[in-house]
Structures are given as structure tokens and as C-alpha cells.
Structure 1
């Protein structure tokens, strides 16, 4: 490569986000479900935050972790959607070099935090079902605060090297990112340098976080299921298991799209690019939208408190 070609894009001041390659003509139509998902996510998660904060009976470990989940969901939704909609509506595709890496950090940091929150929720369900008499003694406010701090620190520190590793590379091929946001692997492919260290680090973080978290959640639920089947009456077993229903639903809503997107990105070389981009957006937008709906519908305490906000006529 000649010198003129290697310096045109070295350390560009901006990147260009294409949106969804191949579907540019449909950007305005695609923005409608994106907008709807984000509106539901923001409204639903703010409602969860309000209810947990204002209702003293919900000041318990399960709802503290739900509060953290709602905060994480809000950050994930608002990290990508404003720029995505500006691409769809106004064709505003430029993103500052530093802003791109900041967005990348927040996305992966809060995805890691969210996975850790699910582990904390599984721990709470394990203690509540397997050792209910000591639940309040084991998961005190101080212990919950320490777990929350550990989740935040783990997410912050594990992802912290990622933007610094990506930032140090020269970008001399192009500054065009075929995506709606600064997705990690999409940026990695633009660098004209040996990116093996960063790629291996990113993969190791994904496998370390996901495998350990899924392992802990699985072990917790094995013990929970054993405890439930030891209960003599069927009605009590069903009632006890239903307390885990919301948690299981949000876990599936988080891990299945994320795993599908990751596998298609790494191994689905014959999958169309626009499908990769759509799936990457789905796993960032759908869980934040579904989580407050699932907890609002399946958790009686939240549902009852929500209904009290809208008094019936004649009462």
C-alpha cells in the first residue's frame, strides 16, 4: 500500500455510520418499530424505578436488583437509539472518533453489568427458596450494596481496556462503519494493524462473563428446582416456582438474542450484512423493552402498585 493510501484515513476525526446496509430506502419505516421499542423501554423502566422507589414494601433485595436492571436497560436503550434515529431520519451519519469509542464502552459495559445483575437475581431466588428463614439475615442491605458494587466494578473494569485497545490502531483503509452504532467487531475490521490481541481479549471477556454467569445461574436453578420438588403439595410447588417465572423470562430474553447475534456474527459468514446489523440492534433494544413488561405482568406486588396509580372510576 502506498504512502498516499495509508495516510488518508489514519486516525480520522470522525467515523461514518451507514445504518442498515442494503436497507437504506426502508430506514424511515424501520425507525417506527425502533422508536416504539425505545418508547416502551423508557416508559416501562422509569415506571419500575418509580414504583420500587416509592413503595416501601418493595425495598427488598429482589426489587433492588430489579432497580439496577431498569437503570442498565435505560442506559442501553439511550446509548444507541438517538444516533440510530438521526441516521434514519436526517441521514446524519458522522460520529466523532472519541464519541464512537465512548458509545462502544457504555454498550459493552452495561451488557456485562446486566449479565451480572441476572446472577445476583438468581442468588436472591436461591436464598429465598432454599433458605427462606435466613433470607433477610443473609441478604442484608449491606450485602446487597456490596453485590451491586461488585457488579458495577466488574462491568466497568473488564470492558475498560476495550476502547483503549481499539483507539491505538491506525485506521487507514476507510472510516465507514456498516452499522447503526459503533459495534465492536465492526470497528475492529476497519483497522489496518494486527488486531489479534484486541480480538482475543474481546472474545475472552465474552466467554468469561457469559460462561461463568450462565453457569452460576444454572447451578442456582438446579438447587431451586430440587428444593421445589421436595415440597409435598403440588399447589405450593407451582406457587413457589412462579416466583422465579419473571426472572427466567428476562434471562431468556437477554441471552438468546445476544447468543444468536454473537454466533451469526462470528460464524455466519453467509448471512446477509443487514441481518447481522438488525440482530445486533434487536439484542440491545428488545430486552430493555420486555423486562419491565414481564415484571409488571408477572410480579403481583408491582402490578398491584401500578394499578393503584390509576384509580378506577367511582372509587
Structure 2
């Protein structure tokens, strides 16, 4: 009997089932409509802003460089989650291997921490632009941009890799059903049949580190920006600086508040249902990517002008193409007539 118990304890699941929103079992397939609609909105809005930044020369500056990377991160993060969830809802393809689950976990947390680093880089860019305007081009050069992005990549990797390595060394023998639509760290570790205290400590350290360090640096930079902006003599220049920084600060607040709500919801897992936890996870992973294009598209004057100009010029394309076609037809007829006369 002891041998049987020992062998069952040593057995570890290598394949899991992502079963999000278990409380609405009869209506789970209807979740395809809102999730697919939000996903299409994310792809359309983020792609549109990235495209305008790439094709408009007036948007080729460090601030818009960071915005385009932020939107690319938003799209890639949601793409690693939503299509898998939609397939599971539509065709009951909920299975995921342990390796696939760990890869999804790494990608989600890597992108979340990297996004926080991008927010800090954008705050640094605004600080230099407003507090050190005469040295802006010298400081925020291409080398600095590459360094900031590289630091963000290295920092995210160093913080997430131990989390994934620790999770890969655990034996999962309680169950193979994850009551979530995404491979979240503690959701997977809740299925472990051994001590996970060190995993919890590292996960808590990462959350505290990102929250305390990043939010503190963000508040410090924007406090300096606000202090400098209030000393600007020109009211128009002051309002422009405050408006631009307010847009970035709003994006940062939405991201951190959504992350905080998801973390609090997990800590209250004994008081709230799995469906509510799934809802807060969906808010954290999808809402920032959904609203960011609207915030920047409407809040940043340069982006708004480019979007409006491209929309107004859409009707000039058919007449232009028709003009080119008519001119080409005229040349062909003229050449044919000359050849006939000859």
C-alpha cells in the first residue's frame, strides 16, 4: 500500500486543461463574442497607430518610438493568450502541455515587466524633453534608445526566468485542470503536491520590486516634470507639456491599476469565485491594450492630426489612380496612332 501511494505521489502531470470561467459552463461558448470583438479591436487599433508612426516622418522621434514598441508588446501579449482561449471555447481545444504552459507563463510575465520598463523609459523621455530641453537630442539619441530597450529585456529576463525554472521543477499531481484561461504562475502552482513556499516568495518579490521601484521612479520623474512645467513662462508651452505628460501618466495608471486589481483578486481567492478571478485577469491582460490606442490617438495632437489627415485623404486615392490610368491609356492610343500613320 505504501508503494502504491509513493508511486502516485511521484507521478506528475505533463498535460493540463485550461478551463476558464467554470461557473458559466452552459454559456461558455458565448464568451467567444466579447473576447473576439476585443481582440479584433486590439489588433486594429494598435496596428493603425504603429503604421501611422512608421509612415509619418513627423512621428519619427523617441517618444513615438516607445509608443510603437508599447503597442507591439500589447498585441503580442494578447495574441499569445486570446487565440488559444477562443479555440478552447469553440472547439474544446483546452489542452496545453507543461512546456507550452511554462512558455506562455514566461511570455506573459516577460511582456508585463517589459511594458512597465517601457513606461519608465517614456517617463525619462518626457523628463529630458521638459527639464533638459537643450540637451534632448544629445541624451535621447539612438544609442540611448537601444540601451533602454536592452535594459528592459535583460531586467525582464532576470526576473521571469527564475519563476519559470522553479515552476518547471515542481511535481503536479493534485489535478491537471487549471481554472483559468491562461497559464498564470500561482494557478499552475496550486496543482503542485509539494512545498511551493520559495516559489511564492520569488513571485511576491517580483511583484513588490516592480510595484515599488517602477512606481516610485515614475512618480519621481513626473513630480520633477510637473515642477519644471509650472515654471514655464509661456502658458501654451506649459499646457502642451502637461497635456502630453498627462496622457502618458494616464496610460501608466491604467496599467498599474489593472495589475493591482488582478493581484488583489488572487489574494482574495477564498472570498471570490474563479469566474471573478478570471474576469480580473482578463481586465489586466486586455483592457490596457484595448484603450491605449484610443488614449494616444485622441490625446496626442501629432498622432491625432496624422490620423485625421489620412482619413480625409482616403477619397483622393481613386481619382488619382483613375487619372494615372487615363493618362496611360492616352499615351498608348497616341503611340498606336503614330505607328499607324507611319
TM-score of the alignment, normalized to the shorter chain, above 0.5: yes
Which residue number in structure 2 is paired with residue 119 of structure 1? 120
1:26/1:57 Cα in 2 relative to 1: closer, same or farther (>3 Å)? same
Q: Is the 8 A contact 2:13 2:176 kept in 1?
A: yes
Alpha-carbon shift at residue 236 of structure 1 (Å) = 3.7
Alpha-carbon shift at residue 307 of structure 1 (Å) = 2.6
CA distance in 2, matches of 1:275, 1:161: 29
Q: Is the 8 A contact 1:9 1:171 kept in 2?
A: no
Alpha-carbon shift at residue 243 of structure 1 (Å) = 1.2
Which residue number in structure 2 is paired with residue 229 of structure 1? 230
Which residue number in structure 1 is paired with residue 102 of structure 2? 101
* Partner-residue secondary structure (3-state), 2:16: strand
* Partner-residue secondary structure (3-state), 2:80: helix
Q: Is the 8 A contact 1:129 1:224 kept in 2?
A: yes
Alpha-carbon shift at residue 233 of structure 1 (Å) = 4.8
Which residue number in structure 2 is paired with residue 202 of structure 1? 203
1:297/1:172 Cα in 2 relative to 1: closer, same or farther (>3 Å)? same
Which residue number in structure 2 is paired with residue 73 of structure 1? 74
Q: Does 1:60 align with 2:61?
A: yes
CA distance in 1, matches of 2:178, 2:147: 39
Give the number of the structure whose alpha-carbon radius of gyration is greater.
2
CA distance in 2, matches of 1:12, 1:193: 13
1:17/1:244 Cα in 2 relative to 1: closer, same or farther (>3 Å)? same
TM-score by length of 2: 0.87
Q: Is the 8 A contact 1:115 1:210 kept in 2?
A: no
Which residue number in structure 2 is paired with residue 304 of structure 1? 305
CA distance in 1, matches of 2:80, 2:189: 19
TM-score by length of 1: 0.94
Q: Is the 8 A contact 1:109 1:156 kept in 2?
A: yes
Q: CA RMSD in A?
A: 1.9
Q: Is the 8 A contact 1:11 1:170 kept in 2?
A: yes
Which residue number in structure 2 is paired with residue 27 of structure 1? 28
CA distance in 2, matches of 1:9, 1:188: 16
1:91/1:119 Cα in 2 relative to 1: closer, same or farther (>3 Å)? same
Q: Is the 8 A contact 2:12 2:172 kept in 1?
A: yes
CA distance in 1, matches of 2:172, 2:108: 22
Q: CA deviation digits over 1:135-174, x for unaligned, max 9? A: 1111111111111111111112210121211111111111
User: 145-154 vs 55-64, which deviates more?
Assistant: 55-64
Q: Is the 8 A contact 2:12 2:173 kept in 1?
A: yes
Which residue number in structure 1 is paired with residue 250 of structure 2? 249
Alpha-carbon shift at residue 190 of structure 1 (Å) = 0.5
Q: CA deviation digits over 1:232-282, x for unaligned, max 9? A: 354443222011122112112211111011012114531122101111111
Which residue number in structure 1 is paired with residue 175 of structure 2? 174
- Can you give the 5+ residue segments of structure 1 that lack an aligned partner in the other structure? none
CA distance in 2, matches of 1:112, 1:165: 18
CA distance in 2, matches of 1:153, 1:104: 17
Structure 2 matches for 1:283-302, cutoff 5 A? Answer: 283-302=284-303
User: 160-169 vs 264-273, which deviates more?
Assistant: 264-273
Moved over 4 A (4+): 1-6, 312-315
Q: Is the 8 A contact 1:9 1:174 kept in 2?
A: no
Q: Is the 8 A contact 1:9 1:173 kept in 2?
A: no
Which residue number in structure 2 is paired with residue 264 of structure 1? 265
Alpha-carbon shift at residue 313 of structure 1 (Å) = 4.2
Q: Is the 8 A contact 1:76 1:288 kept in 2?
A: no
Number of residue equivalences: 315
Alpha-carbon shift at residue 229 of structure 1 (Å) = 1.7
Which residue number in structure 2 is paired with residue 142 of structure 1? 143
